[in-house]
Chains A and B, each alone.
Chain A
Amino acid sequence: MATQHSRTAARLMISPAVILLLAWMIVPLALTIYFSFLRYNLLMPGTEAWTGWTNYYYFVTDPSFTDAIWNTLALVGGVLIITVGGGTLFALLLDRPMWGQGIVRILVIAPFFVMPTVSGLVWKNMFMNPVNGIFGHIATSFGFEPFDFFGQAPMASIIWIVSWQWLPFATLILLTALQSLDSEQLEAAEMDGASWLNRFWFIMLPHLARAITVVILIQTIFLLSIFAEILVTTNGGPGTATTNLTYLIYVQSLLQYDVGAGSAGGVIAIILANIVAIFLMRMIGKNLDA
């Protein structure tokens, strides 16, 4: 619904964004794929050579790759379970009448705005440090041995920290979705004799299903790339106990300067993320039509 003139203008106005994003997507992606087939180490410049699938072979057969995959799954899965479960409960709670709802909401949402390096360090030092952390102090005062979180349960500790950051996100989105539920539907169900549990199961949960899917997909995209929290707490250790795929690629390429292997890892990470992205894009696309 427009004239030729405005269509031409529109094309002109959209092109900077398209060109920039295209360049941003294509150039590094092509280079990553290209590097992944090279023997390429920054410490040995000038020795670059085509090696075919060797980098993939070494990257995939390296035991730390298997560890990284499991760690990535544990991290993503653990955080998802905690945040979606907790977020649903929080949302249901915050949707109920209470005094000071606005303030509680603000308190619950706050952790989302804390930068990852801060939350990593604060939890590691002020809470989970066995000597000086608050948990250690409490354990000692009750006569227990303080628990060394990052020594004994490093992955669980990181899952905990990341969950603290993302629980507000899940809560906020599920709460928004819950508030968009037509209250007359619930009243109709109540008239029909449905108990609270029935109403939750047959009306609220189906209504939330879409929002929950969105939360899962978007969080997965971000959680696959968790980096700063690991960097400031465990550096991927002990051993490879907290090395996820992102961190492994960082170690390979920027600490060991093995660009070839790092790039092969990058391509694998892209493929994994795309599997999630396809589902997410379908959901958003459907919404665009509505």
Chain B
Amino acid sequence: MARAVSNREKTVTTIVAWTLGILMFFPILWIAILSLKTEVDAIRGPIEVLTSGWTTESYGAVQARSDYFKHFTNSVVIALGSTLLGLLIAVPAAWAMAFVPAKRTKNVLMWMLSTKMLPPVGVLIPIYLIFRDTGLLDTRTGLVIVLMLINLPIIIWMLYTYFREIPGEILEAARMDGASLRKEVLYVLTPMAVPGIASTVLLNVILAWNEAFWTLNLTASKAAPLTAFIASYSSPEGLFYAKLSAASVMAIAPILIIGWFSQKQLVRGLTFGAVK
């Protein structure tokens, strides 16, 4: 629909929308500004903050705390590890449900989703105890497993919706051409589904990166990712605004960028395809 809208109307909309947009974004903008101030300037009033000098010393200070990179690495390993492991299990499952649907396929899918509805706190204690007894507490392996299981239904669901858009005839052609099942999935399905797989990976990296129930409850120091590292700033003696800001900016920046790229897939993944 190409409809002429008066410029006045468009101007008003633009001003209102930009104002609201900047207000929503303001907290993020503000910590970006504070992160570039000295600790003394960072706790002053907004005018003073904006007029004071700029410095990157907080970034230096946060990185100088040798454990920052440990936490950052933990976050990367846990987010990527859980997503890739999940993919390995989800691709075959989604293939089966999308291309060899049976009467029960729909029920299996729904059941998989229903596991996602289980409140984590309901199973916190047994998982905590199992982890304690098997030595998985405060290990990256443990978190990779838990986050993989948490996100597995979403991964399967997203892949399923993408796979369903691939015509089955192409896979049959591969079968006629003499491809084994493994080759069919490897050489034909996977390359065709690359865009879908990529968005699935992005969304799940975001979810795993920001997960803050299991990461806080199952780690102490060794395997603690950024969520837990930032939480350690909540103690009153740790009130260093500039450093907290710098640490926060570094923790959210990668995901903010990934997130902006995957807005569309976000809707599909988070609503399980109920809204397209």
Contact = CB atoms under 8 A, between A and B. Distances in A.
Interface of A: 1-2, 6-7, 9-11, 13-14, 16-18, 20-21, 24-25, 27-29, 31-32, 35, 90, 93-94, 96-101, 103-127, 131-132, 134, 137-138, 140-141, 164, 167-169, 172-173, 176-177, 180, 183-184, 187, 210-211, 214, 218, 221, 224-225, 227-228, 231-233, 245-246, 249-250, 253-254, 259, 262-263, 265-267, 269-270, 272-274, 276-277, 280-281, 283-285, 287-289
A72 to B, nearest CB: 11
A17 B156 contact: yes
19 contacts: A13-B96, A14-B108, A17-B93, A18-B93, A29-B118, A32-B123, A110-B28, A114-B256, A115-B209, A115-B226, A115-B227, A116-B210, A225-B213, A246-B119, A253-B128, A262-B124, A270-B118, A281-B114, A289-B106
B7 to A, nearest CB: 10
A182 B90 CA distance: 35
Given A273-B119, A283-B274, A115 B100 contact: no
Top 3 nearest A-B pairs (CB, nearest first) are A13-B92, A228-B212, A31-B126
A118 B66 CA distance: 20
Given A14-B97, A253-B125, A107 B273 contact: no
A233 B216 contact: no
A117 B226 CA distance: 9
Contacts of A138: 45-46
B251 interface: yes
B230 A115 contact: yes
A118 B121 contact: no
A10 B209 contact: no
Nearest to B239: A125
B207 to A, nearest CB: 10
B114 A266 contact: no
A90 B13 CA distance: 11
Interface of A, secondary structure class, is helix
Interface stretch (B17-25, B52-60, B193-201): B17-25
A25 B84 CA distance: 21
B30 A227 contact: no
Contact of B126 (A27, A141, A168, A274): A27
A10 B266 contact: no
Contacts of A180: 276
Nearest to A270: B122
A168 B273 CA distance: 18
B149 interface: yes
Contact of A277 (B24, B114, B123): B114
B121 to A, nearest CB: 4
B89 interface: yes
Contacts of B110: 281, 284-285, 288
Contact of B128 (A90, A99, A231, A254): A254
Interface string B71-110: 0000000000000000001101101110111100010111
Contact of B252 (A2, A115, A233): A115
Contact of B24 (A108, A211, A232, A233): A108
B36 interface: no
A11 B118 CA distance: 25
Contacts of A270: 118-119, 122
Contacts of B95: 10, 13
B188 interface: no
A288 B124 contact: no
Contact of A97 (B10, B116, B264, B274): B10
